[in-house]
Amino acid sequence: MPKAQPQPIPPDLQSPGFYFNRELSWLAYNRRVFHQAQDGRIPLLERVKFAAIAGAGLDEFFMKRIGGLKQQLAAGVQASTVDGRTPQQQIAECYEFVRSHQKEREKSLRRLFKELRGAGIEIMHYADISAEEKEALREDYFRNIFPLVTPQSIDPAHPFPFVSNLSLNLLVTLRYPEDREISLARVKVPVGSGAPRFVKVGSRLRFVFLEEVMENNLDLLFPKMEVVGCEIFRVTRNANTSPREEHAEDLLSLIESTLRERKFAPIVRLQVRPGMDPLHRGRLAVELGLDEEADVFEVEGMIGLRDLHELSALNIPALKDPPHQPVGHPALKTPRSIFHVIRDSGALLLQHPYESFDSSVERFLREAAADPKVRGIKMTLYRTSSRGPIVDLLIAAAQNGKQVAVVVELQARFDEEANIRLANRMEEAGIHVTYGVLGLKTHCKVVLVVRQDFNGLRRYVHIGTGNYHPLTARLYSDLGLLIYDANFGQDATELFNYLTTGYTPKRNYKKLLVAPKILKRALLERIEREIAVHTPENPGRLQFKMNGLEDVDIVRALYRASQAGVRVDLIVRDNCRLRPGVPGLSENIRVISILGRFLEHARLYYFRNGGDEEYFIGSADAMMRNLESRVEVLAPVEAPALRGELREMLDIQWEDRCFAWELQPDGEYRLLGPAKEPCVSSQESLIELARKRSQDVMRLRKRKSKTLGRRNLRITE
């Protein structure tokens, strides 16, 4: 009798080796973004923009993620993450990653500046311009920038000055003539205070850095002093000053005080040039409360890449992507009331920025504000534009006698101040403003319109994956639903009652999956169901599209699905804890990350469910903060035609071989498709698909109109 073969021991899902670190995974994403700045298939000024985005992203990483890890260290936290790293280990490995790729970034930036020069945009050193140009720059600087500059002494009579977050600074070494004693002064470079980082030289597109102009005209600030040296430095402060809501009597006042605290928050990074005087470098580190060896980063060349946005904004169409004009949603290309269109359709799927935000979501609010039959509007606001029409439309609705209630998230990171101003403005207009549920961020994107139709009150709902922000609606790839459905309307009413009261009795949602009470459990149950119904004849399949995959429970459930033979396709834009392609664990899982001219921002969850397919869209990533500490919403997409549109979108994105990267088992990402050959990206395909849908509908309407015209003519004859 043959000897029984030993059964393989299943992998231990608790093993740290099966999970990538969130911070390192995000840094890998930032590296992919910077790679776009090196990709010759992308127009030159768009590549400059990607370098600026990567620079700004790295700044925020230090402000939020490194700042948070340092807070954990200060609090004595030694617990390891699921990937087996303590806060100190995470900081050390992140620093190593940043330093190891610093040379790569500097080399790429030099190549980028060389290409700009070839295209007629020259970034010059002050020393390389003519004497006449120097004199003209000096005069312009004296008139237009010098009044903004304030020197600050650093000596026993003057304590070390406050240095603001992300500020660029000159450390000037001075002495009186014929005096051996030296002194120091700090001068802030006033970028963003009305002064450009790139100062134009002459009439052509030639620029020098503002800090070089200032450095070479220090005699204006320090007349009759000898300038011994001038060095540049930049600081980054911790942005994690989360308010303690449980002790707050007035959340708005607490957020305002939190913003003041953030201004003076501890510094987490000091950037300097190589070759800085060791005594000055050490003194800066001490004065700023930093470890000189660990927290000081040397940068060759330009410090503060986010300022490259100034160059990317140059109006040179030949060096940019062709202008993108979103098309109108085919069903909304009609003068009929949008409420009649939604009611007749049942539901409309919106795909931004391929389809217009203005002629869909803004129109929904615009008609709601003016329609005499509309009785009330309820809406969540996480981020929006102070210059956009959204708040104006809500105010107009209130002035037209509608009941308007808005849930404003005051703690939307880096938008707190803007949201406070908007909240105050809306309250002054008579809008009922609330700030959500204590201890939870309101991240869901929902509008509820209550309208008096011919047979009673009816509820119309918009649910989206993106913010109600007209600018980002043209830059981010998002999904939305405009829907008339009694159950959706009832669920939205339940949701707003929860958001405006915070009361947490059992909410009977019929369609919506709402976090933090329901959503995570619902996702886990559906993954387990996919495992249960999977057979070789009727295989299971999961497809998720999101910004980040970090929640450990979701990752482990996906591992179990893979072990059961379920195919798992994941489109994860940035950080991903899951390790794909591990035999016996995740060989049925693939993970890709898509970059492009638009920021991939949509969240979509697909379950094959034995053929009875389910699609959900909404605001939630598979991250613990979204599923357990925020109010989030996923909504089912039920109409077969709309599911077909989502399937088409998913298939196009999954087959991207232009700007898609695949995550490897070792944590590296591999660009799918050849890096130097022309290609059509999934985003370009979706632009063309939206145009085709719009044109097809217009052609169909024209044919129907002609047919109707001929029929009427025959009747008349």
Are the C-beta atoms of residues 207 and 48 closer than 8 Å to each other?
no
Per-position DSSP letters for 520-576, written without gaps between them: HHHHHHHHHHHHHH--SSS--EEEEEES-B--HHHHHHHHHHHHTT-EEEEEESS-B
250-268: b (≥16 Cβ within 10 Å) or e: ebbebbbebeeebeebebb
Q: What is the DSSP letter of 586?
A: T
The strand pairing partners of 318, in sequence order, are none
Reduced to 3 states (helix: H, G, I; strand: E, B; else coil), residue 442 is: strand
Active site residue 324: no
Cis previous bond, 353, omega within 30 = yes
What is the spatial distance between Cα 93 and Cα 267, in angstroms, rounded to a whole number? 19
- Would you give the DSSP letter of residue 266? P
Whether 522 contacts 531, CB under 8 Å: no
Q: List all residues 6 or more positions away from 188 whose beta carbon is below 8 Å from its beta carbon.
A: 149, 150, 163, 164, 167, 168, 169, 170
Q: What are phi and psi of 432, to 5 degrees?
A: -80, 110
**CA–CA distances in Å: residue 484 to residues 245, 309, 338, 462:** 36, 42, 11, 9
Q: How far apart are CA 62 and CA 27, in angstroms?
A: 11
Give the other-Cβ count within 10 Å of 190's Cβ: 19
In contact, 626 and 620? CB cutoff 8 Å: yes
User: What gap in Å lies between CA 156 and CA 154, rounded to an integer?
Assistant: 7
Cα–Cα distance between 612 and 634 in angstroms, integer? 18
- 8 Å CB contact between 51 and 37: yes
C-alpha distance from residue 284 to each of 78, 102, 156 (Å): 29, 22, 15
Name the active-site residue from 443, 462, 469, 601: 443
Half-sphere exposure of residue 72: CA atoms within 13 angstroms, side-chain side: 18
Which residues lie below 8 Å from residue 692, measured CB to CB, with a gap of 6+? none
Q: Are strands 476-484 and 347-352 parallel, antiparallel or unpaired?
A: antiparallel
Distance CA 529, CA 611 (A): 12
Angle at 682 between CA 680 and CA 684, to 5 degrees: 60
The full DSSP string for 5-55 is PPPPPPP-TT-GGGB--HHHHHHHHHHHHHHHTT-TTS-HHHHHHHHHHHH
For 470, the token pair is 């007209």
| Cα→Cα distances 291→145, 264, 297, Å | 34, 19, 11
Active site residues: 443
